[in-house]
Amino acid sequence: MAFDKSEVEKIAHLARLQLSDSEADEVTVRIGDILRLIDQMQSVNTDAVEPLAHPLDVVQRLREDEITEKDQREELQTLAPNCRDGLYLVPKVLE
Amino acid sequence: MIEKTVAELSVALASGDISSVELTQAYLNRIAELNTELNAFITVCDESALDQARAADAARANGEAGALLGIPMAHKDIFCTQGISTTCGSRMLQNFVSPYDATVVKRFKAAGAVTLGKTNMDEFAMGSSNENSFFGPVRNPWDTNRVPGGSSGGSAAAVAAGLCAMATGTDTGGSIRQPAAFCGITGFKPSYGRVSRWGMIAFASSLDQAGTLCQSAEDAALMMNVMAGLDSKDSTSIDRDVEDYTATLDDSLDGLKIGIPRQHFAQGLNAEVEQAIRDALREYEKLGATIKEIDLPNNHLSVSAYYVVAPAEASANLSRYDGVRYGYRCENPLDLEDMYKRSRSEGFGDEVKRRIMVGTYALSAGYYDAYYRKAQKIRRLIKNDFNAAFEEVDIIVGPTSPHTAFKLGAKSDPVAMYLEDIYTIAANLAGLPAISIPGGMVNGLPIGLHLVGNDFAEAKVLNIAHQFQQQTGWHRRKPSAFTQEG
């Protein structure tokens, strides 16, 4: 599968990462190498194989829908880079 | 005292030969003296450690007991610790102080263990050399020009150098077992779901599992007795009785059937390491085991499948680091998108960004079937190989790593680094319990003997490892530059 710099720029944007032009060149080479390693998988025919998503064959446990946590809003917001009046502040989104 | 195992320290504490305060102070002194050279700890908690030690001594005076009461330990810096910084080896979380304790941390606290500090690691547990830490590489106590392995390199180096009695780690593709092998200690990864992942910073959620780094299988059993068990906060933790892992350590191995995978003794394995592993296998024969060659025909695809599954899950897990609620935020963002992009680009290191991008690519429109779904099918084939093998044998044994610890800077190519985990990754894909124990020495460096058991056969794996350690003294070897009589 072709993998070039424009592909790197596209996935960097999808992953919300910023790359300089020279970084994008290096990443293109590195990820190209990694994809060649990954492509070894294609050597085996798996048409009849059921995918295994998870090592445990179990059903997700459910619990009663009840409040179990106490309100820790103030404590948790002390971790935020920028907070005021209980709100997380980010650069202006709407003019 | 520093040389003693957890089991031995436990006896010394119980008999009053030493107090937890004395022991804790002895380790803190070692850390103060040696951590600059090794860089095994990111955070040291002198005051809170001594407080916990005093509390442990007081509890003992009040008649409380417990194998880990007053034992000084370290936590990999991936486990959230209330009031103590949790960085995950990343600039992204350099200033993050968790508002809660991980379940694993809580369980050790409840058992009265003392937290000396938080250990260095590859950023977000992505790496096999500990060179990907924002806080600098850890050095191997056996040769400080060499890596300790990764990602739990700080925990492994700290145990090997006697900076703590035991440590926690996490293993997504070999991150407990490979550093344990490189540092000459015992590293155990339980079955997926046996230990709660709650409060353990997520890398690849279907592979991550918490485990132990310590001096012996007996110590691992003591730690597992505290760590293992159902946790309602982790929906993938298993609802299954927890055994007393120490109860069966002394069981005889007479009649044990050991499988050695042909694929693990093929091209790529260092000849001296192979010889040491074959010598170790003879010890098992003396203990009454029989050895049989087996096939794991899809093992060679485990690295390929892993580098789809792990990055794909990582790309989703690490999307939470957006500079809004916690973690690093860039200076003077122009707008929201600029804030996301620069916070993530400045906060994450190169390897983490590479894996996020590989995962994003593998999950992106048009590639899902070719990559993610294909990898899940390979995962099934790998699990089927193990199921077939365990029809014939009780345990699968081989080398943990193809060679001994390599020099810092020796593997700058990511793919070469990925292939480090060729023998360990399959156990994560299949969710199986596995341990690395010291199995010999090659040119003055330790090598790891790798044992993989069937689903939830923790007790069996620890028993088989313990019997080897009753028969041999490899796990008692210490790096001479970091040895101290005490």
> In the numeric block, which tokens belong to residue A29?
């080479």
In a domain, B88, yes or no: yes
Report the C-alpha gap between B97 and B75 in whole angstroms: 14
Classified as helix, coil or strand, B450 is: strand
Is B109 one of the catalytic residues?
no
> Percent of chain A at pLDDT above 90?
76
Contact assessment for residue B140 and residue B132, using Cβ atoms and an 8 Å cutoff:
no
Q: Domain of B183: which CATH number?
A: 3.90.1300.10
Q: Does A55 touch chain B (CB under 8 A)?
A: yes
In a domain, B442, yes or no: yes
**Predicted confidence (pLDDT) at residue B341 exceeds the cutoff of 90:** yes
Task: Burial-class residue B161 by CB neighbours within 10 Å (0-12, 13-18, 19+).
Answer: buried
Ordered DSSP codes for B384-448: HHHHHHHHH-SEEEEESSSSSPPBTTS--SHHHHHGGGTTTHHHHHHT--EEEEEEEEETTEEEE
In a domain, B142, yes or no: yes
Q: Tell me: the pLDDT tens digits for B142-169?
A: 999 999 999 999 999 999 999 999 999 9
In a domain, B133, yes or no: yes
The structural domain count of chain B equals: 1
- From A11, A40, A60, residue closest to B235, measured CB to CB: A60
Q: What domain range is B228 assigned to?
A: 6-256+393-482
- Among chain A residues, the shortest Cα distance to B413 is held by A30
Mean pLDDT, residues B84-92 taken together:
98
Interface contact A44-B378, CB threshold 8 A: yes
Task: Burial-class residue A42 by CB neighbours within 10 Å (0-12, 13-18, 19+).
Answer: middle
Tell me which residue of B275, B276, B213, B264 sits closest to B398, measured CA to CA: B264
In a domain, B419, yes or no: yes
Q: Does A48 touch chain B (CB under 8 A)?
A: no
Interface contact B344-A52, CB threshold 8 A: no
Q: Does A92 touch chain B (CB under 8 A)?
A: yes
Mean pLDDT, residues A13-26 taken together:
95
CA–CA distances in Å: residue B354 to residues B128, B133, B151, B171, B307: 15, 15, 16, 20, 11
Contact assessment for residue B321 and residue B344, using Cβ atoms and an 8 Å cutoff:
yes
Q: Tell me: the pLDDT tens digits for B456-485?
A: 999 999 999 999 999 999 999 999 888 864
Backbone angles phi, psi at B97, to 5 degrees: -120, 115
Q: Tell me: the pLDDT tens digits for B389-442?
A: 999 999 999 999 999 999 999 998 999 999 999 999 999 999 999 999 999 999
Is pTM, for the whole model, over 0.90? Answer: yes
- From A11, A34, A52, residue closest to B379, measured CB to CB: A52
Q: Tell me: the pLDDT tens digits for B437-463?
A: 999 999 999 999 999 999 999 999 999
Q: Where are the domains of chain A?
A: 5-41
Per annotation, catalytic residue among B98, B175, B401, B436:
B175
- Report the complex ipTM: 0.95
In a domain, B456, yes or no: yes
Report the C-alpha gap between B462 and B283 in whole angstroms: 16
For domain A5-41, is the CATH number 2.60.120?
A: no
Mean pLDDT, residues A45-63 taken together:
88
Of A9, A13, A16, which to mutate for an interface test with B (greatest number of B Cβ within 10 Å)? A16
- Give the mean pLDDT of chain B: 97
**Predicted confidence (pLDDT) at residue B138 exceeds the cutoff of 80:** yes
> Percent of chain A at pLDDT above 70?
97
In a domain, B196, yes or no: yes
Tell me which residue of B238, B240, B213, B179 sits closest to B79, measured CA to CA: B213
Backbone angles phi, psi at B119, to 5 degrees: -100, 150
Interface contact A92-B335, CB threshold 8 A: yes
